[in-house]
Structure 1
């Protein structure tokens, strides 16, 4: 019997967190809202907002953030909420921010294909993405629902790499024809892949130096042998083919006497 209130409390906490997320997303559309973390502390509730433009969240003299704090305390019954604003260093590599930008572009009437390719090119040109995937589902161009996918680079679909190395963002865009669902996935360039091969550069440089030294040594020995012999390979082959006995039998004296006798007869 004690498990029923516990399960119900978890469900209520999940619903409240979803409602807080939806409220902040609607209020901070232009501020580049990237998500919210809610933590209970002894002094109250700590709310951490992740955004690409903290100045729009804080407002002039902290007026905007004070209004958000009052609404969270009254509407969602949070005890002494303390809001902290965290700036996202690289918004182009945050999937939630890019999903919100795509939804905002579609809400402004931009063509879905042009908006999708613009966001995809923005992600890949940032230099920190290994791959990206965008999905737009709903009544995009006609009364029939379909899904349009935009891909670039490499994207892991399963395994531990897909859970740890892929950032996912979800957004919605309400139009006259219906609601469009948007999903953006970004795989960062520093993701450790299971099939990658890493080379030990120090050992590789050492092996290359030894190979180059061996080649230089071989060239020096060959040049020294050529200087000592002074003969080419063709000359050596001709000398080897000549028989020493045939050389000893050759005599030029009889040939000279024969020539003198022929001259006397004339």
Structure 2
């Protein structure tokens, strides 16, 4: 009985997330996190377009709050908007963008769309990334195309820090699946060694002292 309640609870939670994403617009929302507190439900929306999401005078947030209360029976929902500073390092936003470009420009230009997205991710400072497109591209038989650059860990502890996102594009030739994986620039490797400016200055001083000491020593040797 408890398992059924838990499954139903998760279904309702999923429905809330999907409604928020669809109502606020595809390509604008990275993720929706729902937290439960003693005073109500806290809904954290991660987006790269907070102004559009909030609306003039917060009208879109007010409308969304009313729907959450009436349709999803939430007691006291509080919506918090979290801005994503660099959207090209967020895998879900990139996946949604690629899907929208495929729908607008057609699946025949999938290589151009993928390579442009990959270049933008690289310019944003990512250590590595992979874009996988699955569907009838461009033949009648479905296949998967992968575009990648840099370093991207797929197993181990470091793999858990990889940003991942997925989306679907409804094209004339059929549905195209989009998967994006990005290794952000702030992720540190286990064997990574950092050399600070202080260490560099110390190395330079020691190098200069060693060089000047060698010259003095050779002069004394010649004098003897």
Range of TM-score over shorter length: 0.7 to 0.9
Q: What is aligned with 1:130?
A: 127
Are residues 211 and 65 of structure 1, via their aligned partners in 2, closer, same or farther at CA, if it must alter by over 3 Å? Answer: closer
User: How far did 1:161 drift?
Assistant: 0.5
User: How far did 1:27 drift?
Assistant: 2.3
Q: State the Cα RMSD in Å.
A: 2.4
2:27–2:97 contact (8 Å) kept in structure 1: no
Are residues 210 and 56 of structure 1, via their aligned partners in 2, closer, same or farther at CA, if it must alter by over 3 Å? Answer: closer
Are residues 222 and 87 of structure 1, via their aligned partners in 2, closer, same or farther at CA, if it must alter by over 3 Å? Answer: closer
User: How far did 1:48 drift?
Assistant: 1.2
User: How far did 1:36 drift?
Assistant: 0.4
Alignment partner of 2:116 out of 112, 115, 118 = 118
Q: Distance in 2 between matches of 1:43 and 1:221?
A: 78
Which moved further from structure 2: 204-213 or 70-79? 204-213
- After TM superposition, the score normalised by the length of structure 2 is 0.87
Q: Distance in 1 between matches of 2:55 and 2:206?
A: 65
Alignment partner of 1:151 out of 133, 148, 153 = 148
User: How far did 1:30 drift?
Assistant: 5.5
Q: Distance in 2 between matches of 1:39 and 1:225?
A: 77
Q: Give CA-to-partner distance per residue, 1:46-100, whole Å, 9 cap, x none.
A: 2111111111111122222222222222332322322121111211111111111
Correspondence 1:246-265 to 2 at 5 A:
none
Q: Distance in 2 between matches of 1:211 and 1:54?
A: 52
1:140 maps to 2:137: yes
Are residues 142 and 14 of structure 1, via their aligned partners in 2, closer, same or farther at CA, if it must alter by over 3 Å? Answer: farther
- List gaps (5 residues or longer) in structure 2: none
How many corresponding residue pairs? Answer: 222
Q: Distance in 2 between matches of 1:203 and 1:104?
A: 48
1:31–1:54 contact (8 Å) kept in structure 2: no
- List gaps (5 residues or longer) in structure 1: 229-266
Q: Give CA-to-partner distance per residue, 1:136-194, whole Å, 9 cap, x none.
A: 1122323311111110111111100111x211111122234332221111101221213
User: How far did 1:6 drift?
Assistant: 1.6
Please identify the structure whose Cα radius of gyration is greater. 1
- After TM superposition, the score normalised by the length of structure 1 is 0.74
Correspondence 1:102-251 to 2 at 5 A:
102-110=98-106, 111-127=109-125, 129-163=126-160, 165-198=161-194, 206=202, 209-210=205-206, 212-227=208-223
Q: What is aligned with 2:72?
A: 76
Q: What is aligned with 2:23?
A: 27
User: How far did 1:225 drift?
Assistant: 4.4
Flag the structure with more relative contact order, 1 or 2, with Cα contacts below 8 A and sequence separation at least 6: 2
Are residues 221 and 140 of structure 1, via their aligned partners in 2, closer, same or farther at CA, if it must alter by over 3 Å? Answer: closer
Q: Give CA-to-partner distance per residue, 1:113-146, whole Å, 9 cap, x none.
A: 111111111111012x100111111223233111
